[in-house]
Structure 1
Amino acid sequence: MNQDSQLRSRFTFWLSVSKDQNIDNFSDQLKQIGSFGTAREFWSYYSYMVKPEKLPFGAQFFLFQEQIQPVWEDPQNMNGGRLILRVKRGFENRVWEELILHYLK
C-alpha cells in the first residue's frame, strides 16, 4: 500500500475496554481512537496501537467507516452482523492486521 494512497473511504478506529460485560450502555465505554483516509494516516495510528495479543481481558478494537459508530443502534448497522474469530495464540496480531488491510483496500 503506497503511503500517500487515498483509501476508498474514511475510517475510524474505536476501542472498548470493559471489565463488566453486562454494562447497560455499551456506547458509554467506547472511545474513538482516530479517523483516517490515507494509508499514511492509517499507519500513523496503527503503528502506535496496542496489538491484539497485548489487550487486557474484555478489550475490543473496532474499525468502521467514518460516521458509523460500532453500536447496533446506528442506522447504518441495521442489517449488519458481527464476526468473532478464535485464533490460535501467536497468530492474533497477524490475523487482525491481514483482516484490516484487506478491508481498507
Structure 2
Amino acid sequence: MAACSSPFKMSTGAMESEVEKKQESETEIPMDFSIKHPLQNCWTLWYYENDRSQSWEKNQKEIASFQFVEDFWSLYNHIKSASELKQGTDYSLFKKGIMPMWEDKANHRGGRWLLSLEKKQRANELDRYWLDILLCLIGEAFEHSNEICGAVVNIRQKGDKIGNIKIKYNICRAYSGS
C-alpha cells in the first residue's frame, strides 16, 4: 500500500508527540449543570381568563414563580406562546409579591408604556415583542428597571397589547415635564 504524500515535512515521531501535547492541553472540563444563574428579582407569571361569574381578581391565576435564568426558560418553553392564547386572555409577569392589578400598593400612582399590535401582526411579531420585553424585565435591562413592576400581554379581538406596568410617579412626571 502506497503512503500518502503530505505537504508537511514532519516525521511520524514528531506527529505523535504533537498529538500527545494536543490531547494533554484539551483535557475535558466536566460541566456542572446544577449551577443556576440567579436573577436580581423573583418573578411570577400570571394568567387571566375572563369568567363573568367571578371577580376580576379571582380570574387572575398564579402560574409559577422563578428566580433563576434556567427556571425562566423552563417555564417559557412549557407554556403556550402569547400568539397561541385565546381571545380575551392575558399573560402577566410581575415581580413576586406584586399582583397584576392597579389596586396593588406597588402599582399605586403608576403608569404604563403600551405597545398596540394589529391582529394581523399576531402571528409574526407578538411572540418576539413579548419575549424581548420579558428578557428586558428579568434581565433588568430597562433604564429604570427598579421602578418597573411587570408587563402584561392582552390578547383581544381588535388587536393585542403589551404594556410595562408601574413606572413610579416621579419618573412619569420627569418624562411629561410636569
The two structures share one fold, judged by TM-score above 0.5: yes
Q: Which runs of 4+ in 1 moved over 6 A?
A: none
Structure 2 distance, partners of 1:52, 1:11, is 18
Flag structure 2 segments of 5+ consecutive residues without an equivalent: 1-34, 140-178
- Going from structure 1 to structure 2, the CA distance change for 1:24 and 1:78 (only over 3 Å counts) comes to farther
1:54 deviates by: 0.7
Q: 1:29-73: CA deviations, max 9, x gaps?
A: 000010000001111211111111111000000010001111111
Say whether the 8 Å CA contact 1:12–1:63 is kept in structure 2.
yes
SS in 1 for 2:94: strand
SS in 1 for 2:62: strand
TM-score (norm 1): 0.86
1:12 deviates by: 0.2
Say whether the 8 Å CA contact 2:46–2:60 is kept in structure 1.
yes
Question: Counterpart of 2:89?
Answer: 59
% identical aligned pairs:
29
Say whether the 8 Å CA contact 2:51–2:59 is kept in structure 1.
no
Structure 2 distance, partners of 1:32, 1:85, is 24
Alignment of 1:6-85 (within 5 A): 6-18=38-50, 25-85=55-115
Structure 2 distance, partners of 1:102, 1:76, is 20
Say whether the 8 Å CA contact 1:10–1:36 is kept in structure 2.
yes
- Going from structure 1 to structure 2, the CA distance change for 1:82 and 1:18 (only over 3 Å counts) comes to farther
Letter in 1 for 2:95: Q
Structure 2 distance, partners of 1:42, 1:26, is 26
Computing the radius of gyration over CA atoms, which structure comes out larger, 1 or 2?
A: 2
1:82 deviates by: 3.4
Structure 2 distance, partners of 1:26, 1:19, is 8
Flag structure 1 segments of 5+ consecutive residues without an equivalent: none
1:19 deviates by: 6.0
Say whether the 8 Å CA contact 1:19–1:57 is kept in structure 2.
no
SS in 1 for 2:115: coil
Letter in 2 for 1:64: F
Number of residue pairs the alignment of both structures matches: 101
